[in-house]
Structure 1
């Protein structure tokens, strides 16, 4: 039987028909009681049991009971039950902002942070629902919009595979460049409905070292109602070799969490390639689909119709046997 909640009905006033149904049941029971009383008054009990055994008398109630059950199903159907259903989004914008600073060469993630990031981001883009436009921003010492929002997945995946490291980390610039790309795209495709809902997916592995304050950029995103989902990627044991010197490159979970909190997004931690894939899978489910309430009355009408037919068949069968 379909599941439902009172909050999920379009026309709950149809449930008032249950009052009439209850009156029908009470009337039927009273009629049966009166009929039995009249029968016992004028009939011999031994003769009654031979002519109409108890099992036959019980069978006579089958059709009315089925009819009552049918009415219950039909009343629920008329009340317009709804259910939640995941449906692909047909308009949305996602900017992937990926850190390509030198720390992404760290091998605490096998084979390296950057290689694992490329693989996970490529899978994320390829699996995204068709109605979502995806763009790509890379940032190190500065930020570059490599691909403006588009539904062409091959363009984005090719750019991801071409990412290479550079010096410094300008996280704030990466956010700002993503916001600019979203604004430009929204102005082009906005129309009467306005720009599509947008989100930034920011993946970085360390502290910002140059450029504007990333928390100021996060506030700018919040002011535009564009949440930032942050992925803090890597471990505290990460190191890179620069000019023969081993330099620690720990992740900056604290700042990434602050960016997410300020902008209204979610913080994710990924300390392995597998965890990063799971994070991207989660984001793909959140971004690519939305939950809508859809009509769920058909199963109730089907059940009501089938039960009504059974009631009619039972009534016919009992009438034939009584002839």
Structure 2
């Protein structure tokens, strides 16, 4: 049963009449019953029957009935609310993620790539009504997951992202990564289409100029949010592998082509962000989440279950019991 509400709560003011009614009954108690004048009633007082003592109870029944009628007038009813939501303006999103070896730098814990995967997973889970796709790139790029509304697939794909030079050659081809993301989303029929392009370095490979790719994105009406990830100053980067194939790290300067990323964002009416820590990265994705909202048309259906009938029924039942008792058991009782 839903929550009980009252359609006409102003009728509860009538409860103020109850004390007045009690006072009136007390004041008129001797006039409401038949009386017999006798020189002395001491004998009757000493031998007063149970029915005579119980007769005032009839007025209690009447007052209870009055209270139930007041409650009925207030129209108690339970309300069950059901909602039906319909997405009226969906958003398609492609996340283009840099998976070059520099993403293993340890200025984020445990490294940049793992920190990004955790933050991006939270972002995906919050985009309940949108479709998302994944593109990864280093010196080349490929689509990891086509645009889909199945968040479980996206989350599983995010978990599997890792640096692997056996699959994709090392390097940073920002233009190629952006072009692949554009190709993946350009034919989408969504009302809003965005690309989140993340890198931690400088464009140093690939056959597509990033600025040309951003011009193409603009022609398709795509908005690109760019993120530069990496602390200020220096960080421990993987620079080689030892004889056992284990990565060797060395302290090196952090270099991000922020000017290029700003140009890409400006050309496509997007926004550039710099993430210098995991906390800052979370704030960036939260900001994008707020900027790109999906419009929802929600309809609520109310089902009312009127309860006043039962109160009226109990009130009339009490009045009936009072009339029956007054004209049977208590008839002639003074």
Question: Judging changes above 3 Å, is the alpha-carbon distance between structure 1 residues 311 and 215 closer, same or farther for their aligned structure 2 residues?
Answer: farther
Question: 8 Å contact 1:88–1:129 — kept in the other structure?
Answer: no
Q: Which residue of 1 aligns with 2:110?
A: 111
Q: Which residue of 2 aligns with 1:319?
A: 320
Report the alpha carbon displacement of residue 174 of structure 1 after superposing the two structures with TM.
Answer: 3.3
The separation in 2 between residues aligned to 1:250 and 1:178, in whole angstroms, is 24
1:94-173 aligned at under 5 Å gives the runs 94-118=93-117, 121=120, 133-141=131-139, 143-150=141-148, 153=153, 156-157=157-158, 160-161=161-162, 166-168=170-172, 170=174, 173=176
Give 1:200's match in structure 2, choosing from 189, 195, 217. Answer: 195
Question: Judging changes above 3 Å, is the alpha-carbon distance between structure 1 residues 219 and 135 closer, same or farther for their aligned structure 2 residues?
Answer: closer
Report the alpha carbon displacement of residue 248 of structure 1 after superposing the two structures with TM.
Answer: 1.3
Q: Which residue of 2 aligns with 1:6?
A: none
Question: 8 Å contact 1:231–1:256 — kept in the other structure?
Answer: no
What are the ranges of 5 or more consecutive residues in structure 2 without an aligned counterpart? 34-52, 241-248, 325-334
Q: Which residue of 1 aligns with 2:184?
A: 181
SS at match of 1:98: strand
How many residue pairs end up in the alignment? 276
Report the alpha carbon displacement of residue 297 of structure 1 after superposing the two structures with TM.
Answer: 1.4
Report the alpha carbon displacement of residue 66 of structure 1 after superposing the two structures with TM.
Answer: 2.0
SS at match of 2:74: helix
Question: 8 Å contact 1:205–1:250 — kept in the other structure?
Answer: yes
Report the alpha carbon displacement of residue 60 of structure 1 after superposing the two structures with TM.
Answer: 3.1
SS at match of 1:149: strand
1:62-73 aligned at under 5 Å gives the runs 62-70=67-75, 73=77
**Could you tell me the TM-score, scaled by structure 1's length?**
0.56
Question: Judging changes above 3 Å, is the alpha-carbon distance between structure 1 residues 150 and 25 closer, same or farther for their aligned structure 2 residues?
Answer: closer
Question: Judging changes above 3 Å, is the alpha-carbon distance between structure 1 residues 130 and 258 closer, same or farther for their aligned structure 2 residues?
Answer: closer
The separation in 1 between residues aligned to 2:158 and 2:276, in whole angstroms, is 21
**Structure ranking higher in strand proportion:** 2
What are the ranges of 5 or more consecutive residues in structure 1 without an aligned counterpart? 4-16
**Structure ranking higher in helix proportion:** 1
The separation in 2 between residues aligned to 1:265 and 1:55, in whole angstroms, is 75
Q: How large is the RMSD of aligned CA atoms in angstroms?
A: 5.7
Question: Judging changes above 3 Å, is the alpha-carbon distance between structure 1 residues 157 and 63 closer, same or farther for their aligned structure 2 residues?
Answer: same
SS at match of 1:200: strand
Give 1:295's match in structure 2, choosing from 300, 311, 323. Answer: 300
CA-to-partner distance for each residue in 1:182-215, whole Å, 9 max, x for gaps? Answer: 124x2xxx5xxxx475443333335656732399
The separation in 2 between residues aligned to 1:296 and 1:163, in whole angstroms, is 53
The separation in 2 between residues aligned to 1:241 and 1:158, in whole angstroms, is 21
Question: 8 Å contact 1:120–1:277 — kept in the other structure?
Answer: yes
Between structure 1 and structure 2, the one with the greater Rg is 2
Question: 8 Å contact 2:193–2:223 — kept in the other structure?
Answer: yes
Q: Which residue of 2 aligns with 1:238?
A: 235
**Could you tell me the TM-score, scaled by structure 2's length?**
0.54
Report the alpha carbon displacement of residue 81 of structure 1 after superposing the two structures with TM.
Answer: 7.6
Question: 8 Å contact 1:233–1:270 — kept in the other structure?
Answer: yes
Question: Judging changes above 3 Å, is the alpha-carbon distance between structure 1 residues 169 and 227 closer, same or farther for their aligned structure 2 residues?
Answer: closer
1:259 aligns with 2:258: no
SS at match of 1:46: coil
Question: Judging changes above 3 Å, is the alpha-carbon distance between structure 1 residues 93 and 253 closer, same or farther for their aligned structure 2 residues?
Answer: same
